[in-house]
């Protein structure tokens, strides 16, 4: 829509990120519409209408820091939601919530198409389901929690267990073989992480197929709350207009919920369960339901989700989990034991783990791996009290194989090479299945456990074991 001319609307109150605006009779904009406030220096400031206080007064949430605003400033309605630049011009660029350039590069061309950040999800009749698997090269993910093209996968974990590292590795693993567009959305990210991402993408030579969208940690809650919508608007354009597959990576969706809670508090809404906003389920659904396949093109989402205080029953975590197809749960206990990636093989799952999708062989191996590791966990209390020698022969064998399976499911990452000095590995699903089968069949029963730790394929572990034996013999 074309913006209206200045129509006498005025800013009447400023309380932090909350702005109250008085409009002329009959000119009150709808909820979610954008308004532009004139600053003294001739610059403009964008806010979003979030509540109607009466028939002439609206309450808006600022999308930028409110420094320099003053009461009485002229306001004009933009005639629709915030619109952001989309299309080929944004590829290789770093943008903020309103589409402003954040990489010190050249401004976008004047004819760059724009799209509103608020759009309805595609109707069910227009969506297309897909059972195509999104291979990552990460053994534990491909085996136990496979990702779907056009689906949603979430990495759940507390602070410091490796969510961002896992997402970064997925970006690195996929971007080389992935032919579509990648959109990275940083929600409440540190500016350091944004610069690192920009330099990593440049170094990998994939920046020309990537868009980076950031709502940084120091920005007002409105910016952090709406930045996923900006990323989705760009993704939807590539899917709907150019019919290209899009890989949408979000880090961190919990901060989207957190920003929504801050906005809700600023608007004076009564808090709901555990202090979250009463509109939590609606806000998460509005975000997640727009991630879908349409025709031959799909948006595939990989989301990092912070779990506060490692409480997986937290309302934000359970609400997000209800929308995803693949759930990758990161375990603090496994991280403490040095099992990286610290993916919990029991709690992680996927709706694709079905014989009709993956085949009988894959599902049978995955279930046997799970059962073996679960049996080991059941026996851990007995082992810690009495020692492994007190177990029966079958239980002792199951424990030894479970420990070897856990070590085989670790692998060095490309993104951590600088810290570990170990070359990253990408492993095909056939090699992962072959290695798990060999361990379950007892081929590694007399091996040193360390031979299976931080390797790629089972053959690499075999070579490591033989080298270790030769060294011992010498």
- Check: CB of residue 162 under 8 Å from CB of residue 226: no
Specify whether the CB–CB gap between 101 and 93 falls below 8 A: yes
Interatomic CA distance for residues 187 and 258, integer angstroms: 10
Active site residue 464: no
Q: Which of 21, 39, 47 is nearest to 7 (CA)?
A: 21
How far apart CA 33 and CA 15 sit, in angstroms, is 20
Listing DSSP states for 91-113 in one string gives TT-EE-TT--B-SS-PPPPTT--
Phi and psi torsions of 365, nearest 5°: -65, -45
Q: How far apart are CA 155 and CA 158, in angstroms?
A: 10
Q: Pick the catalytic residue: 135, 163, 255, 464?
A: 163
Given 64, 76, 169, 189, the catalytic residue? 189
Asked about 262 being catalytic, the answer comes back as: no
Assign 248 to helix, strand or coil: strand
Strands 57-62 and 210-216 come out as unpaired
**Would residue 163 show up in a list of annotated catalytic residues for this protein?**
yes
Which tokens is 379 given? 């026996």
Task: Look up tokens 């820091």; give the residue.
Answer: 65
Torsion of CA 197, 201, 202, 203, to 10 degrees: 100
Active-site residue, from 70, 190, 377, 469: 190
* DSSP annotation of 414: G
The residues assigned a catalytic role are 163, 189-190
């Amino acid at each position: 829509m074309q913006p209206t001319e200045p129509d006498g609307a005025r800013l009447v109150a400023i309380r932090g990120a909350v702005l109250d605006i008085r409009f002329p009779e009959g000119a009150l904009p709808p909820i979610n519409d954008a308004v532009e406030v004139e600053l003294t220096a001739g610059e403009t400031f964008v806010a979003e209408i979030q509540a109607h206080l009466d028939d002439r007064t609206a309450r808006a949430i600022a999308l930028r820091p409110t420094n320099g605003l003053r009461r009485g400033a002229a306001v004009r309605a933009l005639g629709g939601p915030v619109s952001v630049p989309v299309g080929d011009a944004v590829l290789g660029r770093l943008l903020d919530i309103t589409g402003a350039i954040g990489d010190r590069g050249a401004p976008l061309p004047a004819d760059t198409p724009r799209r509103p950040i608020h759009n309805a999800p595609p109707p069910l009749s227009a969506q297309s389901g897909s059972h195509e698997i999104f291979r990552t090269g990460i053994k534990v993910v491909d085996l136990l929690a496979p990702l779907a093209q056009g689906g949603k996968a979430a990495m759940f974990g507390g602070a410091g267990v490796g969510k961002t590292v896992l997402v970064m590795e997925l970006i690195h693993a996929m971007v080389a073989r992935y032919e579509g567009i990648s959109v990275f959305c940083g929600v409440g990210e540190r500016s350091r992480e944004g610069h690192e991402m920009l330099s990593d993408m440049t170094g990998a030579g994939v920046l020309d197929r990537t868009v980076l969208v950031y709502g940084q940690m120091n920005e007002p809650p409105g910016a952090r709350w709406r930045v996923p919508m900006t990323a989705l608007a760009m993704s939807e354009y590539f899917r709907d207009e150019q019919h290209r597959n899009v890989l949408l990576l979000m880090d961190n969706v919990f901060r989207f919920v957190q920003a929504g809670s801050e906005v809700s508090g600023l608007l004076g809404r009564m808090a709901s369960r555990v202090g979250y906003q009463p509109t939590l389920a609606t806000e998460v659904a509005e975000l997640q339901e727009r991630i879908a396949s349409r025709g031959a093109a799909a948006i595939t989402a990989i989301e990092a989700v912070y779990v506060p205080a490692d409480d997986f029953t937290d309302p934000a975590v359970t609400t997000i989990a209800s929308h995803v197809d693949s759930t990758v749960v990161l375990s603090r206990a496994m991280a403490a034991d040095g099992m990286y990636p610290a993916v919990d093989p029991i709690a992680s799952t996927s709706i694709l783990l079905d014989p009709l999708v993956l085949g009988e062989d894959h599902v049978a191996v995955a279930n046997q791996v799970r059962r073996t590791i679960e049996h080991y966990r059941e026996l851990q209390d007995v082992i810690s009290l009495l020692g492994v020698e007190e177990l029966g022969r079958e239980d002792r064998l199951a424990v030894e194989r479970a420990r070897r399976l856990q070590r085989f499911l670790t692998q060095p990452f490309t993104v951590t090479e600088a810290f570990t000095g170990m070359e990253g590995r990408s492993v095909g699903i056939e090699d992962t299945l072959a290695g798990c089968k060999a361990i379950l069949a007892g081929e590694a029963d007399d091996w040193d456990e360390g031979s299976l730790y931080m390797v790629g394929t089972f053959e690499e572990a075999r070579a490591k074991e033989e080298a270790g034996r030769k060294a011992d013999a010498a």
